[in-house]
A and B are shown apart, each in its own frame.
Chain A
Amino acid sequence: MATETPPPSKTPTKLPSTEEFVAEQESAEFGELRRAHRSFAFPLTIGFIAWYLLYVLLSNYADDFMGTQVVGNINVALVLGLAQFLTTFLIAWWYSRHAAAKLDPKAEAIKSRLEGGE
């Protein structure tokens, strides 16, 4: 798979000054990017860690429930374990869609403006 963006040159581009960075950090455009990242990543992180811990606690303290047979020798414990795999794949896919749609365009606009310099 090829990457779409050209590789950066070996000599890094000249960085904007600290004042420019502070101004950018306080700008509405950057605020939107920050919000778009945090409002997605933070709740989702708390969510999947809680779901994982729930699974760990069930494994520890809910023996009967986890041992319930679903089909043949396949029990609830195995199904929930496989569900952890499934949710991990889904969250990864969901985040990559969110990032491509909501984060990348904003990030690239700011980057090219800052690096273009005045």
Chain B
Amino acid sequence: MNPAQHTLIAAGEASQHRPLIITLFAVFVAATLVITVWAGRQTKDAADFYAGGRQFTAFQNGLAVSGDYMSAASFLGIAGAIALFGYDGFLYSIGFLVAWLVALLLVAEPLRNSGRYTMGDVLAYRMRQRPVRTAAGTSTIVVSIFYLLAQMAGAGVLVSLLLGITSDAGKIGIVALVGLLMIVYVTIGGMKGTTWVQMVKAVLLIAGALLLTFMVLVKFHFNVSDLLGSAADNGGKGSAFLEPGLKYGATGTTKLDFISLGIALVLGTAGLPHILIRFYTVPTAKAARKSVIWAIGLIGAFYLMTLALGFGAAALIKPDEIIASNKAGNTAAPLLALHLGGVDSNWGAILLATISAVAFATILAVVAGLTLASSSSFAHDIYANVIKRGQATEKQELGAARWATVGIGAVSIVLGALARDLNVAGLVALAFAVAASANLPTILYSLFWKRFTTSGALWSIYGGLVTAVGLVLFSPVVSGKPASMFPDVDFHWFPLENPGIISIPVGFLLGVLGTYLSKDEPDQGKYAELEVRSLTGTGAH
């Protein structure tokens, strides 16, 4: 039986159980809608909408942060990358995890202490408001949309596997459904609803990963060495599968690409707006710190489980079958569920349906978090502080946030439909690179560098943003390779897939150059205010 037939059978098995799958999806969607409506009733003012009333506990927020962070890229993308490339897939999870230390040591607490609703609150604190708010809003929206694309692509992948829908119309229909749901979650439930949805999803995802990990380990009698050995043999790659280099070791260029990816991952997290605004949902900086500690524990445990999932998939499923199902390996985890349950048994199909429903829940929740981050930033940074020059009423501002949600939902439906065949983990890595280039330098300089000025912030944000996005545009991700977004044209001249190694230093350097080369003077009074507030929590919202 060739792999394509195998996959057809997998899809066929799944489609026999289509009522079950649809029921599981519907149960999750219904439960989250109930939560959303309930949260919406309690959402009265701006602090409720943007920051969930700041009343969540550190553990609740830690769970929600994990939910926001463990996206389709983590679950589908990393498991798939390990299944296909062995050890090289593991490198993603290490970067994604170590990155949290930057957020913990340098960013989470100062941000909670001195900001109010958005990342822009901190970036613009000591600067001229309108230009820096505009820049912060722009980069928030760009980063979030890159990240959204990855989630949308993941949704398309899942649905084609599960429901056997391979037609473009079917995939686009699902992307549109995801888009509509996220508009409902965010406009009605605001941050409160979104946070509860994240928590439910995090519990489901961790439970699903635990179940599969346990089943994989039972299969190999809890002998990790055996599991690794079978993974190496089954794929026919031998011990190279367990060593670095299968994906990134081919040439000097791919090795450089790997360093670029590594830097982007470790510096990206602390610049992701949808993660940063989560710290506003707890009452104090101390609670923000504790939520990061919880998140590090939960996310670390989850990534250890993705190792078992990825190597388990490699040991139990032929690589041809994984590739036939999805070229980038995004369906390895659901396929693993099918194989663990038994390819020809009902149990296998039920497990496949359950894991796919969990992955679908993951996508919905992360998409809602991203949409909230970008519409908050539009309403609070751009509408209220730039367009209305700080004169907007709370009601007007929240109205703008809800309309922005609809707009961003529409944009991401269109882009998601276009990106439906791209590599999920790779797309997320691009979002990390843009965040590390455009946001992180200004966050750190604002908090810790006395001399930093408005010009420095603008040079850094726009310079980092344009460099990162520009390099992606002229990279093999967009054109010139069979796996590119536009494989039939070739206008790429930048050899690397990830721009981080160039664009992150450029972002940091431009912050320094902009500060020294312009005539701007730093506002020392404002810096005193920001520094004292960020370290002590004086006057925290």
Contacts and interface: CB of A to CB of B under 8 A. Distances in A.
Interface of A: 1-8, 10, 12-16, 18-19, 21-22, 24-25, 30, 33-34, 37-38, 41, 44-45, 48-49, 52-53, 55-57, 59-61, 63, 66-67, 71-75, 77-78, 81, 84-85, 88-89, 91-93, 95-96, 99, 103-104, 107-108, 110-111, 114-115
Given A24-B528, A84-B97, A13 B539 contact: yes
Contacts of A4: 286
B286 A5 contact: yes
B78 interface: no
Given A75-B243, A111-B536, 17 more contacts: A1-B57, A1-B59, A3-B57, A5-B286, A8-B283, A15-B539, A21-B529, A41-B106, A57-B259, A59-B244, A60-B248, A78-B90, A85-B97, A92-B297, A107-B535, A107-B536, A114-B532
Given A2-B57, A85-B94, A72 B229 contact: yes
Interface in B274-299: 282-284, 286-287, 289-290, 292-293, 296-297
B105 interface: yes
A114 B54 contact: no
Per DSSP, chain B at the interface is: helix
B525 interface: yes
Contacts of B131: none
A3 B52 CA distance: 16
29 contacts: A1-B59, A10-B47, A12-B539, A24-B532, A41-B105, A44-B105, A45-B106, A48-B98, A52-B95, A53-B263, A56-B258, A59-B245, A61-B255, A63-B249, A71-B225, A78-B90, A81-B91, A88-B97, A88-B100, A88-B300, A92-B100, A93-B293, A95-B104, A95-B105, A96-B289, A103-B535, A107-B536, A114-B538, A114-B539
B98 A52 contact: yes
B22 interface: no
B484 interface: no
Nearest to B531: A25
Contact of B94 (A2, A81, A104): A81
Nearest to A4: B286
A108 B537 CA distance: 8
A56 B90 CA distance: 12
Contact of B243 (A12, A63, A103, A111): A63
A18 B539 contact: no
B107 to A, nearest CB: 10
Contact of B266 (A33, A52, A57): A52
B524 interface: yes
A104 B285 CA distance: 10
Contacts of A72: 225-226, 228-229
Range, interface on chain B: 35 or more
B536 A8 contact: no
Interface of B: 45, 47, 54-55, 57-59, 87, 90-91, 94-95, 97-98, 100-102, 104-106, 109, 224-226, 228-229, 232, 239, 242-245, 248-249, 255, 258-259, 262-263, 266, 282-284, 286-287, 289-290, 292-293, 296-297, 300, 303-304, 448, 524-529, 531-533, 535-541
A76 to B, nearest CB: 9
A72 B160 CA distance: 39
A25 B106 contact: no
A92 B101 contact: yes
A55 B448 CA distance: 28
Contacts of B55: 7
Nearest to B229: A73
A92 B296 contact: yes
Contacts of A37: 535
B536 A114 contact: yes
Contacts, number: 195
Nearest to A27: B532
Contacts of A21: 525, 528-529, 532-533
Q: Which 6 A-B pairs have the closest CB atoms?
A: A72-B225, A59-B244, A73-B228, A25-B528, A56-B262, A18-B525
A88 B259 contact: no
A15 B116 CA distance: 14
Contacts of B248: 60
Nearest to B284: A5
Contacts of A57: 259
B244 A52 contact: no
B243 A66 contact: yes
Contacts of A115: 538-539
A118 to B, nearest CB: 14
Nearest to B88: A59
A113 to B, nearest CB: 9
B55 to A, nearest CB: 6
Nearest to B299: A88
Contact of B538 (A16, A55, A74, A95): A16
Contact of A1 (B58, B87, B527, B536): B58
B432 to A, nearest CB: 14
B224 A74 contact: yes
A19 B528 CA distance: 9
A99 B289 contact: yes
Contact of A88 (B106, B286, B296): B296
A53 B103 CA distance: 18
Contact of B535 (A1, A34, A88): A34
A38 B531 CA distance: 12
Given A33-B536, A60-B248, A99-B289, A78 B98 contact: no
